[in-house]
Amino acid sequence: MHLFSALEKRVPFLAAGLLALRSKAVQRRVSSMMSSSHPVAAVCQVTSTPDKEANFTACKRLVEQAKENGASMVFLPEGFDYIGSSREETLQLSESLDGDIITRYTHLARKLDVWLSLGGFHERGHEWKSDQRIYNSHIIIDGQGQIASVYRKGHLFDVELTGKGVSLKESSFTIPGPRLVPPVQTPIGKRHGAEILTYPSAFTVATGSAHWEVLLRARAIETQCYVLAAAQVGAHHSKRMSYGHASAVDPWGLVIGDCGGTDVGIAMVQIDLQGLRDIRRDMPVQQHRREKGYYCSLD
């Protein structure tokens, strides 16, 4: 399985356009990836700020670079639209699904003929005028620029780590999503009987260093799926930093892409669906599941 990591040889894909400086070895790996029959996914790492225009410019550049290098689906992290410096700013900058930001991304997807995973978007709630609350929404846009799926985060993140200076209470202004949504069929693998799980995130440094890789690898191993986890990195403003390490993990639990903890970048990975099927054949954990009634026996 090939890997084109944003921090390979410690040379990041930066906004300045370092694609032109790739080594011949890296170019060969990209050529191999583009000529392969395996679909290619791009997992992005960004540093969002309260400046929505600058954030879109940076994300657009990464999407274009990913498409240039053969990606059929590009994954952007939680807060790709912005990360506010206060509760008030976070709410004021929010938009609806038919607002400017998502409209721009639908146009970008259609122009490049690429699928986009956007999560989480600060979506104004259905009762915005009366309650001033938002959803944390994960949006999938297809290559025709149509919204294929919207999942509104159901389990919100509240944490108070006084010893580490971390205090976040998402539930104070975010509405829990009302339901799960069906998996989506995409160019990098079928979603029903899922083969790809995605965790767009903006982990704090404290929780990220302790939990991030462990959680991602565990999810990949126990489900025998690829795990693609776009992430925020670095300082967003004076009050908040993110851990980084946007990652891709294969169904055996091997980390096959990691953007590191410093720079904006992309990890590009091939999705080997036959390899996934081989793992599931050799270790058929899904066949060990019991009938539904068994799992309700403690109710």
3-295: which CATH topology? Answer: Nitrilase/N-carbamoyl-D-aminoacid amidohydrolase (3.60.110)
The residue to which tokens 């392969």 are assigned: 36
Distance of CA 37 to the CA centre of its chain: 23
Determine the pLDDT at residue 18. Answer: 32
pLDDT score recorded for residue 2: 31
Whole-number Å distance between alpha carbons of 140 and 195: 16
Rounded to an integer, what distance in angstroms lies between the CA atom of residue 63 and that of residue 68?
9
CA distance 25 to 23: 5
Q: Which amino acid is at 237?
A: H
pTM over 0.85: yes
Rounded to whole angstroms, the Cα distance separating 25 from 233 reads 27
Q: Distance between alpha carbon 145 and the CA centroid of its chain, in Å?
A: 18
Look at residue 165 in the predicted model and tell me its pLDDT.
77
Nearest Cα to 43, choosing from 80, 70, 73, 2? 73
Q: In what order do the strands lie in the sheet with 247-249?
A: 196-198, 226-229, 247-249, 255-258
> Domain boundaries in the chain?
3-295
| pLDDT for position 33 | 66
Residuewise pLDDT in 10s, the chain (299 residues): 233 333 333 333 333 333 333 445 445 555 666 667 899 999 999 999 999 999 999 999 999 999 999 999 999 999 999 999 999 999 999 999 999 999 999 999 999 999 999 999 999 999 999 999 999 999 999 999 999 999 999 999 998 888 887 888 899 999 999 999 988 999 998 877 899 999 999 999 999 999 999 999 999 999 999 999 999 999 999 999 999 999 999 999 999 999 999 999 999 999 999 999 999 999 999 898 888 888 887 76
How many residues are given for the chain? 299
Question: 105: Cβ–Cβ under 8 A, 6 or more apart, which residues?
Answer: 116, 118, 139, 141
Query: In Å, how far are 121, 122, 132, 296 from 95, measured between CA atoms?
Result: 9, 7, 11, 40
Q: Which helix (H) or strand (E) holds 189?
A: none
